[in-house]
Amino acid sequence: MARNVGPARTSSRKTATDRSVRPVVYGFETLAIHAGQDPDPRTGAVVPPIYQTSTFAQDAVGSPRSGYEYARTANPTRDALQECLAALEGGRRGLAFASGLAAEDTLLRAVAKPGDHVLIPNDAYGGTYRLFSKVTQRWGLEWTAVNLSNVDAVRAALRPQTTVIWVETPTNPLLNVVDIGAIAGVAHDHGALLVVDNTFASPYLQQPLAHGADVVVHSTTKYVGGHSDVVGGALIVRDEELGEKLAFHQNAMGAVAGPFDAWLTLRGVRTLGVRMDRHCDNAERIVEFLTRHPKVSKVFYPGLPDHPGHETAAKQMRRFGGMVSFRAAGGPEAAIEICNRARLFTLGESLGGVESLIEHPARMTHASAAGSPLEVPADLVRLSVGIETIDDLVADLEQALR
């Protein structure tokens, strides 16, 4: 398994994740801790070193000593992360980028061309929407925002030039759920690629490639890194040829993850499973509290039996995640008040870290979507439920909603 870190790559010693030794299929948590992370062959370091270097010595012209030449093309620390992410998503190739948006941009340049048409969610992540509406559109890439929870609407929006369907599930911030398998069918009947932004679920809760997706996108800034200390992105694919094409563009466009960022992200990945379980436990308790609160008019969470995407979510997700949104019964001003009064829930953008965050999407993360098909209700509050002591989190919401 190991296209491993470290120079001593000729060692014949078998390693923990080498499937030729032990023909077992490792579980998620085992892969998170071991895939791409065999002890350093030179020193035995159990943690992949940070190869903070831009270039690698060559023994003779045309004979790099280690297989590495220049760190934009490949760096051992980034390779360790890439291999781990590929294993966690059940893919063959993982590629790590400087940010989620850098991953998205690189992907679009690789799989689409001017004149092509892309279907995007009508409640896409704001930055993704901005990339399509302000950047790739000027390059000639057309797009339509559709409700991807409605398979007939997706079929009706297809054009002969549609080459990509771009899915987020659950979506941000309304937590709509898209049936990945159903949309994969529509995409493939049309000869289009299915891209799934899996940032909200993380590979622990949902593995889109297993449901027919061609490409998984992550903002590893969120749950994958999980500690709000690094910005990063990733693409994961099963198809070797597509993987090669993306690797070519990763190198040609250059928006790579640096060694330290890759190392921090990999440090976060090792605890992804236990973190996600606690995010889910805490989110479930908060949903219970909010649904009974008189100052909350509606709670959005795919785990609620009356959520329109509940059955689909139950089919394709292990659990329902750590993101919860709700509408304030008192309207937009009340929503802003709640955000301002919260103490333990830090007021801030982003999500997926160990600490709980609260925000007002209409004025913060989704401000750029005002007046567009992606505008969100002004009385909406979004929570990224962290892994603090649950009673403290509930008490903070109690005082913020008083």
Which residues does the annotation mark as catalytic?
72, 125, 197, 222
CA atoms of 158 and 281, how far apart (whole Å): 39
Out of 106, 172, 207, 228, the residue judged to bind ligand PLP by CB under 6 A: 172
Task: Identify which of residues 231 and 387 has a Cβ nearer to ligand PLP in the complex.
Answer: 231
Out of 87, 95, 101, 141, the residue judged to bind ligand PLP by CB under 6 A: 101
* Residue 135 backbone dihedrals phi, psi, to 5 degrees: -115, -65
Answer yes or no whether residue 206 interacts with ligand PLP by CB under 6 A.
Answer: no
Q: Shortest approach of ligand PLP to residue 172 CB, angstroms? A: 5
Q: Between vectors from CA 368 to CA 367 and to CA 372, what angle results, nearest 5°?
A: 105
Out of 4, 37, 77, 128, the residue judged to bind ligand PLP by CB under 6 A: 128
For residues 332 and 375, the answer to whether their CB atoms sit within 8 Å is no
Q: Shortest approach of ligand PLP to residue 378 CB, angstroms? A: 20
Answer yes or no whether residue 99 interacts with ligand PLP by CB under 6 A.
Answer: yes
Q: Shortest approach of ligand PLP to residue 351 CB, angstroms? A: 6
Answer yes or no whether residue 257 interacts with ligand PLP by CB under 6 A.
Answer: no
Nearest to 323 by CA among 156, 206, 160: 206
For residues 233 and 262, the answer to whether their CB atoms sit within 8 Å is no
Answer yes or no whether residue 222 interacts with ligand PLP by CB under 6 A.
Answer: yes
Answer yes or no whether residue 82 interacts with ligand PLP by CB under 6 A.
Answer: no
Three-state SS sequence of 325-378: EEEECCCHHHHHHHHHHCCCCEECCCCCCCCCEEECCCCCCCHHHCCCCCCCCC
Q: Between vectors from CA 197 to CA 321 and to CA 336, what angle results, nearest 5°?
A: 60
Q: Shortest approach of ligand PLP to residue 333 CB, angstroms? A: 26
Ranked by CB distance to ligand PLP, the top (closest) residue is 100
Q: Which stretch binds ligand PLP (CB under 6 A): 56-64, 153-161, 193-201, 278-286?
A: 193-201
Q: How big is the site for ligand PLP, counted in residues (CB under 6 A)? A: 16
Tokens representing residue 400 in the block:
């913020």
Could you give the residue ranges of the DSSP H alpha helices within 158-271? 180-189, 202-205, 240-253, 259-269
Answer yes or no whether residue 141 interacts with ligand PLP by CB under 6 A.
Answer: no
Contact positions vs ligand PLP (CB under 6 A) = 99-101, 125, 127-128, 168, 172, 197, 199-200, 219, 221-222, 231, 233
